[in-house]
Amino acid sequence: MSQARVFLLPDLGEGLTEAELVAWHVSVGDTIVVDQPIAEVETAKSAVEVPSPYAGIVTELHGKPGETLDVGKPLISVTPVDSGVAADDAAPAPSPDQPVVQPTETELAEPKPASAAAEAYREEEKAGSGNVLIGYGTPGGHGVARRTRAPKAALSVVEPVETKPVNTTEDDLSLLRTRVPGKLGAVISPLVRRMAREHGVDLGGLQGSGDSGLIMRRDVEAAISTPAVEPAEIRRTPVVEPVETKTADPRTGLAVSARTPVRGVRKAVAANMARSRSEIPEATVWVDVDATALMELREGLKAKGGEAPGLLAFIARFVTAGLKKYPELNTRIETAEDGSQEIVSFDGINLGFAAQTERGLVVPSVRGAEKLSARELDAEIRRLTQVARDGKATPAELGSGTFTLNNYGVFGVDGSAAIINHPEVGILGVGRIIDKPWVVNGELAVRKVTELTLTFDHRVCDGGTAGGFLRFVADAIENPTSLLADI
């Protein structure tokens, strides 16, 4: 008999060491194929499906939904199909009239040829993609789990089963095997079970009139026809519902109404923000910007019948141009074991942007953003926003940014001293665009004004560089046509 293979929770990338088990896609006893999604887990980055590298029968699930599992710990145990099940499926069970023939010692010693099913599973495992990490599952991995009989001992005697003239469904078979707790042998027929369920009869409270306490149809019918009457003395006695006692907080003296575990995305955000505050000596600069020309440009594109990019895409185009001019803000600081530090520069820009989802704040990044036009940036920002909200963004899409753009104006606020997304060295925030009095050519006018806020790591540059970058983006917003020839 083949030994069960234990599949360990794989390395989920980006330094993630744990994941919360959201749901199982298979159950014990299911037959699975290579690359079939077996579970959904939620990491600090996203919710992902884990495919199986093995084919066979699920023998054990190592964990329950809601539990946090460590990378490298058992996730699922799978027994290859040739460990008794293949033979069980290949050869029909002997009928009650046929004696069970015991194999001879020679037959036991001789290796049995592998069944076609077992050989197919072995070939399937060889041909599998091997993609057991994250993403959306792997090619060909969306098979439906198949129920199979549990593996039987090689020399077990097959007991005769009474044949029913009616068709028996899988639900009926499960009901047929149901026993009432505390009543040995009280096997209830599917008809009786169904009747009790439809009429709300508690079988556990019935005394069966059949042999060995078997609950018969007449027992259920009697329970249905006899209405439950509450005793008068109980009706007259007021029932005092127990009141849940809440623990008082020792500091405030107030009752604690709830305790919510910090895990998943919230746990990752908390750890990253705390690390950013403790390690990065940050500074913040800001400026008010007249965005009227940019708004008019976008409205003009829409009036021509074309689909105009969103404002965030335009600003993203200005940011990438600014980072080319001031590359110090598109870097990262690395600290060696001896305490020495290096500023790491990059040949390219992966522009991250903050996206609010039901799972919390995540930062997907547009890879190679400096090569994209405003329209291309708009399309990629929309795509990444959707996959992030669906919980399907990959670690590569969530953890590869080199600079972050944060549009907190959608929340109706003007400005914010944002926390840098560690290990990056800068984040640019954009406030809401509102009408404000503004001096234009010496005269007061009403203009569309927004506030830009740049928080930067003072270790990589000084105020002159940060101010120069911020002014560059502000000037581009006020005179957008100078940079948007490629829109």
On the 0-12 / 13-18 / 19+ scale of CB atoms within 10 A, 421 is buried
Task: Note if the pTM is more than 0.75.
Answer: no
Residues counted in the chain: 487
Tokens in use for 400? 């590869």
Architecture of domain 264-482: 2-Layer Sandwich (3.30)
Cα gap 214→190, rounded to integer Å: 13
**pLDDT at residue 12, rounded to an integer:** 67
Three-state SS for 346?
Answer: coil
**pLDDT at residue 326, rounded to an integer:** 97
Q: Catalytic residue at 458? A: yes
Cα gap 418→399, rounded to integer Å: 18
**pLDDT at residue 290, rounded to an integer:** 97
**pLDDT at residue 365, rounded to an integer:** 96
179 strand-pairing partners:
187
Residue ranges per structural domain of the chain: 5-160, 164-220, 264-482
Tokens in use for 170? 């899988």
φ, ψ for residue 9, nearest 5 deg:
-55, 120
288 strand-pairing partners:
451
CATH assignment, 5-160: 2.40.50.100
Three-state SS for 79?
Answer: strand
Contact between 290 and 475 under an 8 Å Cβ cutoff? The reply is: no
Cα gap 423→331, rounded to integer Å: 9
Contact between 75 and 39 under an 8 Å Cβ cutoff? The reply is: yes
Contact between 208 and 219 under an 8 Å Cβ cutoff? The reply is: yes
Q: Which residues contact 323 (CB under 8 A, 6 or more apart)?
A: 329, 330, 349, 370, 403, 469
Q: Read off the pLDDT of residues 324-355 as tens digits, 9 standing for 90 and up.
A: 999 999 999 999 989 899 999 999 999 999 98
The DSSP call for residue 11 is P
**pLDDT at residue 192, rounded to an integer:** 72
Tell me if the domain spanning 164-220 has CATH number 4.10.320. Answer: yes
Query: What Cα–Cα distance (Å) separates residue 147 from each residue in 26, 56, 63, 117, 466?
Result: 10, 11, 20, 15, 62
Question: Can you say whether residue 236 is alpha, beta or left, with left for phi > 0 and alpha for psi between -120 and 50 degrees?
Answer: alpha
Cα gap 119→124, rounded to integer Å: 9
Cα gap 133→232, rounded to integer Å: 64
Q: Which residues of the chain have pLDDT under 70?
A: 1, 12-16, 44-46, 82-191, 194, 204-205, 211-213, 226-245, 485-487
Q: Read off the pLDDT of residues 24-56 as tens digits, 9 standing for 90 and up.
A: 999 999 999 988 899 988 776 667 788 999 899
